[in-house]
Amino acid sequence: MRFHFVLTLWTGVCQAAMQHYPAAWGHYDVCKSQIYSDEGLTWDYMACQPEAADMTQFLKVTLDPPNITCGDPPETYCALENPYMCNNECDASTEELAHPPKLMFDIEGRNPTTFWQSTSWKKYPKALLVNITLSWNKTIELTDDIVLTFESGRPEQMVLEKSLDYGRSWQPYQFYATDCLDAFTMEPKTVQDLTQHTLLDIICTEDYSRGYVWKYDKTVRFEIKDRFALFAGPRLHNMASLYGQLDTTKNLRDFFTITDLRIRLLRPATGATMVDEDNLSRYFYAISDIKVQGRCKCNLHANSCVFDKEKLGCECEHNTTGPDCGRCKKNYQGRAWSAGSYLPIPKGTANTCIVNNIGPVIRPNVSSLGVANRKEARVCDNELLRCQNGGVCVNNVRCSCPSDYSGLLCEKSRCETELGGCGGPNSGQPPLTPSSSSRLLLLLLGSALLREASCWPAVL
C-alpha cells in the first residue's frame, strides 16, 4: 500500500528592486526540471517537500497502562451532568459496545459517534492516569493545529508532549488545566500572549479546561497556525516570511518537528462540583477524534513520501538517501550533506549532493586560464569532456572504455603499454606520438573549465 504526497504551495513574483509575495507564491512540488542553458539541456534543482496530509493514517498508538481501555470486565457508565442516567455500557467482547483505541482515528460523522473510552475512576482518590502515545517511526513536520475531541468532557489536567528521538526522550509541548498555578505552578497564558521572541516558550493554558461547558465545546487544541501567524500574518498571507524564519531562526523548525506525540491525561472532567465518591462511574476519559496534520520531513530533498510495509519514507532526490534524505548517496559525497533551504524565495536552494571525484583531481592553472576558482573538474559530465573511441559515460564521473582503449576519456590505445608500442607489427593500431593523447586531454579539460568558470560563484 503506497501513499504519495505532493506539496501544493504557491507561485511567487520577484522584482529587481524588491520582492512581493502575493497570496499565491513559491511552488515546492517539484525537485528538479530540465532547462536549456549555454551548455545545452541541463537539470535545474530546487528545494522541495511533500504535501501536507492527515498523518493519523500512518501512526501506531499505544496506551499506558495497557489495560486502561474500558470493557474488560464490562462496565456501566453514568452521565457527568446527571449521575442517575447510567445507560452507557462498555463491553470489549461485543463490537457494538466496545471502545478500542482505533476509534480515536476512524472516520467521523457516524451516528452514534464512535470513540475510545477509559475505565472509570473507580480507585479515587488515586489519580486516573493515562498516557496515549502516537508514533510514526518517521520524522514529521506539523502544518496545522493538533485537535483532540473529547466525548467525556475535557480533562481538568493534561499535558501534550513531543519526542524527536522516537520516544527515547520527551519534552512538553503545552500544559492544560482548570487552574495552572495549582496544577503545574505556572501562570496561565494563551497562544495570543506569545510573540516572535517567545514563540518557543512552553505555556500552560486554561482555555480548554475551565468552566462547565464540555457539552458545547469538546475540543482541545495545540495551536500551530497561531504560532505560524506570528511570522506569516493573521491569515498566513505572508508565508515567505515564515519560510525565511524557518531557515534562519535557531530551533524554530525543530519546534514543529516530531517523531512521536504523547497525550498525558492526569485528571478527568468532574463538572462544576466536587468529586461525587458515590458515583465514580461518572468520571472517565473518552476521545472520539484526534487530528494531526503534517508532512514527512525530507529536509527539502523530496516532494513525495511513501507508506510501504507499514513504514513511511521519503522518495529522495538531489542524490540524497535515508528515511529523511539525511545523507548523500554512495559515490555522491563530493561535499558534505546539507539540508535544502527555502531561500531564496520562491525556489529555494537544493544543496544537491555531488559526485565524488574519481581519479586524480584536475585543478585549473590560474595564470594560464586567467580565472580563479575552487571547483574541481569531473570526467564526462560536460559536453567537451565526452568519452572517446566508443567509451560510455558512467554516472557522469568516469568513462567505461572498449577493450582496445584506456585513459581518463578512453583516449589511449592499450597497445601503448605493450611491448613495441602501437607501432609494433602486431598492434593493429596506427602509431601515436607520445604526447598526442595528453595534449588532447589537456585541451579538452582546459576548454571545459574556461566555459564553466564564468558561471561559478565567488563563494561555494
pLDDT tens per residue across span 114-124: 999 999 999 99
What Rg do the C-alpha atoms of the chain give, in angstroms? 31
Tell whether 351 is covered by a domain.
no
Q: CATH number of the domain that 237 lies in?
A: 2.60.120.260
* Cell reading at 105: 482515528
Q: What confidence score (pLDDT) does residue 412 get? A: 79
**111 confidence band (pLDDT: 50, 70, 90):** low
| Residues 101 and 247 occupy one common structural domain | yes
- Would you place residue 12 in the very low, low, confident or very high pLDDT band (cuts 50, 70, 90)? very low
Query: Domain for residue 43, yes or no?
Result: no
Q: How many structural domains compose the chain?
A: 2
Q: Is the pLDDT reported for residue 10 higher than 70? A: no
Question: Is residue 403 assigned to a domain?
Answer: yes
d(CA 118, CA 101) in angstroms, rounded, equals 9
Q: Could you tell me if 274 and 385 lie in one domain?
A: no
Q: Is residue 176 part of a domain?
A: yes
Q: What are phi and psi of 405, to 5 degrees?
A: -135, 160
pLDDT at 356: 87
Over residues 276-305, the mean pLDDT reads: 95
Over residues 23-60, the pLDDT tens digits come to 334 568 899 888 887 777 888 899 999 999 999 999 99
**Residue spans of alpha helices (H) in 144-292:** 180-184, 224-232, 239-248, 252-255
- Let me know whether 62 and 176 are in one domain: yes
Are 96 and 244 contained in the same domain? Answer: yes
Mean pLDDT of 63-89: 91
Would 457 be classed as within a structural domain?
no
Domain, as residue range, for 395: 381-411
Last residue of a domain, one of 296, 325, 345: 296
Are residues 387 and 289 part of one domain? no
Go through 253-292 and write b for each residue having 16 or more CB atoms within 10 A of its CB, e for each that does not: bebbbbbbbbbbbbbbbbbeeebbeebbbbbbbbbbbbbb
| Residue whose C-alpha cell is 592499450 | 414
Would you state the pLDDT for residue 104? 96
The answer to whether the beta carbons of residues 371 and 352 sit under 8 Å apart is no
Please check whether residues 248 and 387 belong to one and the same domain.
Answer: no
DSSP per residue, 315-361: ---TTEESTTS-EEPTT--SS-----B-PSTTT-B-----PPP-SS-
Q: What's CA 175's distance to the chain center, in Å?
A: 25
Are 253 and 393 in the same domain? Answer: no
Residues 134 and 261 grouped into a single domain: yes
Q: How confident is the model at residue 435 (pLDDT cuts 50, 70, 90)?
A: very low
Whether residue 421 lies inside any domain: the answer is no
Asked if 101 and 231 sit in the same domain, the reply is yes
Is 328 a member of any domain? no
Length reported for the chain: 460
Q: How far apart are CA 222 and CA 194, in angstroms?
A: 13
Residue 113 DSSP code: P
pLDDT in tens, 393-431: 776 677 888 888 887 778 777 766 555 556 555 444 454
| The pLDDT value given to residue 169 | 97
In a domain, 439, yes or no: no
Pairing of strands 157-163, 146-150: unpaired
**Residue 14: is its pLDDT beyond 80?**
no
Write the single-letter amino acid at 330: K
Given 296, 311, 338, which residue is the final one in a domain? 296
What's at 310, amino acid-wise? E
More confident residue, 44 or 378: 44
Beta bridge mates, 258: 140
Per-residue pLDDT tens over the stretch 127-140 = 999 999 999 999 99
Angle between helix axes 239-248 and 224-232 (nearest 10 degrees) is 100
Closest by CA to 344, choosing from 8, 10, 12, 37, is: 12
- Do 126 and 271 share a structural domain? yes
Per-residue pLDDT tens over the stretch 145-168: 999 999 988 999 999 999 999 999
- Output the pLDDT for position 120: 96
Domain identity same for 247 and 386: no
Domain boundary among 248, 269, 296: 296
**Domain harbouring 405, CATH code:** 2.10.25
* Residue 122 and residue 259 share a domain: yes
Taking the C-alpha atoms of residue 383 and residue 402, their distance in angstroms, rounded to an integer, is 20
DSSP 415: G
